[in-house]
């Protein structure tokens, strides 16, 4: 009997070593930012929906691509909603469907049951309030010529190690603010912040004085796939991983747009605490500020709410919200 256990122990040590060895080659792909433009580095980018398995672990792949010559998949953990870029060669994948994955937390996040208490509206669809206590801080990086408000992030980081924050980044902002983006990545690397990257479209269309129904992504001629994928490619080429969340510019979308974003396996992210509009956070609120230099009033309000104890704490990661 004792020999059996010794053999079992030896077998487990051996298999753990093999698994570790494989992880060396098959762990999440790390992409280093380079000066080369995203289109030259991230090629053959395509939406997919596949169930992938490696060493008994299942993930859902939502994109396939080739980065610097290596085929990769963008995967989602169907339970935690955590995304990661993986080497395609390490996973066995087969096409799946929304119906087949309907019982996963991911699909329930994408397609929550209709809430009769919420009127159908153009503005602020999707997830607007999170589960449980605390608050979910989100910052929109709409295109801006102004500098990133770095002091806001310093104050956020003072809340504790790895303070969670979701940044909805537009491709046009990222193109113009490589140094600011690198600065944010450094905050992550040092453990000051834990950033989740949401997609805020590429061009973020907006024309002053146009009604919402003909503005933002509802403008004629907008190519929604391009808005989604080019932003994701930029995030990837800069060494980060897109999350499953999409924030509509202006928080404006109609039913058709919502459906098209969901068909790309992204979850629309609204907010019930846009501070500069006078909305006050309560437990579970998704708080919205603009750290792109365009809305300093919202950042001042954020600071005051934190200092006076009116901000629900703790600050929580957005993947916990649905």
Footprint of Zn ion (CB under 5 A): 140, 142, 249
Shortest spacing between CB 136 and Zn ion, in angstroms:
17
Shortest spacing between CB 243 and Zn ion, in angstroms:
16
For Zn ion, the nearest residue by Cβ is: 142
> Among all chains, which residue has been given the structure tokens 């980065």?
67
Shortest spacing between CB 160 and Zn ion, in angstroms:
27
- The residue (of 127 and 142) whose beta carbon lies closer to Zn ion is 142
Which residues on adjacent β-strands are paired with residue 246?
A: 199, 268
Q: How far is 277 from 264, CA to CA, in rounded Å?
A: 30
- Count Cβ atoms within 10 A of the Cβ of residue 165 and give its class: 0-12 exposed, 13-18 middle, 19 or more buried: buried
- The residue (of 49 and 274) whose beta carbon lies closer to Zn ion is 274
Q: How far is CA 71 from CA 38, 41, 67, 68, 193, in A?
A: 15, 12, 6, 9, 30
3-state secondary structure of 269: strand
Given a contact cutoff of 8 angstroms between Cβ atoms, the answer to whether 173 and 143 are in contact is yes
The residue length of the chain stands at: 322
Neighbours of 285 (CB within 10 A): 23
- The residue (of 31 and 167) whose beta carbon lies closer to Zn ion is 167
Given a contact cutoff of 8 angstroms between Cβ atoms, the answer to whether 164 and 197 are in contact is no
Shortest spacing between CB 200 and Zn ion, in angstroms:
6
Q: How far is 140 from 322, CA to CA, in rounded Å?
A: 19
Shortest spacing between CB 251 and Zn ion, in angstroms:
8
CA 285 to chain centre: 18
- The residue (of 249 and 312) whose beta carbon lies closer to Zn ion is 249
Shortest spacing between CB 179 and Zn ion, in angstroms:
21
- The residue (of 135 and 168) whose beta carbon lies closer to Zn ion is 168
- The residue (of 48 and 224) whose beta carbon lies closer to Zn ion is 224
Q: How far is 27 from 48, CA to CA, in rounded Å?
A: 21
Tokens of 268: 């629309």
**Residues whose CB is less than 8 angstroms from the CB of residue 232 and which lie 6 or more positions away in sequence, other chains included:** 45, 63, 74, 199, 242
DSSP state, residue 126: S
Shortest spacing between CB 148 and Zn ion, in angstroms:
14
CA 49 to chain centre: 17
Shortest spacing between CB 35 and Zn ion, in angstroms:
27
- The residue (of 249 and 322) whose beta carbon lies closer to Zn ion is 249
- The residue (of 93 and 142) whose beta carbon lies closer to Zn ion is 142
Given a contact cutoff of 8 angstroms between Cβ atoms, the answer to whether 200 and 247 are in contact is yes
């Amino acid at each position: 009997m004792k020999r059996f256990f010794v053999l079992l122990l030896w077998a487990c040590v051996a298999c753990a070593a093999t698994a570790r060895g494989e992880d060396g080659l098959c762990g999440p792909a790390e992409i280093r930012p380079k000066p080369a433009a995203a289109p030259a580095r991230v090629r053959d980018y395509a939406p997919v929906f596949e169930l992938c398995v490696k060493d008994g672990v299942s993930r859902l792949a939502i994109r396939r691509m080739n980065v610097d010559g290596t085929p990769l998949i963008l995967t989602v953990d169907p339970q935690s909603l955590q995304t990661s870029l993986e080497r395609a060669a390490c996973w066995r994948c087969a096409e799946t469907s929304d119906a087949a994955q309907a019982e996963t937390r991911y699909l329930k996040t994408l397609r929550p049951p209709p809430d009769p208490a919420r009127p159908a509206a153009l503005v602020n669809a999707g997830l607007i309030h999170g589960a449980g206590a605390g608050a979910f801080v989100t910052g929109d990086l709409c295109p801006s010529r102004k500098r990133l408000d770095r002091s806001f992030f310093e104050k956020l980081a003072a809340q504790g190690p790895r303070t969670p924050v979701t940044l909805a980044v537009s491709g046009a902002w990222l193109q113009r603010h490589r140094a600011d983006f690198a600065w944010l990545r450094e905050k992550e690397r040092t453990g000051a912040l834990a950033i989740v990257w949401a997609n805020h479209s590429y061009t973020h269309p907006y024309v002053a004085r146009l009604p919402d129904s003909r503005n933002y992504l509802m403008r004629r001629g907008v190519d929604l796939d391009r808005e989604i994928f080019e932003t994701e490619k930029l995030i990837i080429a800069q060494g980060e991983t897109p999350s499953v969340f999409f924030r509509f510019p202006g928080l404006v979308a109609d039913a058709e747009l919502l459906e098209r974003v969901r068909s790309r396996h992204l979850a629309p992210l609204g907010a019930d605490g846009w501070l500069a509009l006078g909305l006050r956070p309560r437990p579970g609120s998704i708080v919205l500020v603009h750290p792109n230099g365009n809305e300093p009033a919202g950042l001042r309000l954020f600071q005051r709410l934190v200092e006076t104890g009116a901000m629900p704490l703790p600050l929580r990661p957005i993947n916990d919200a649905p």
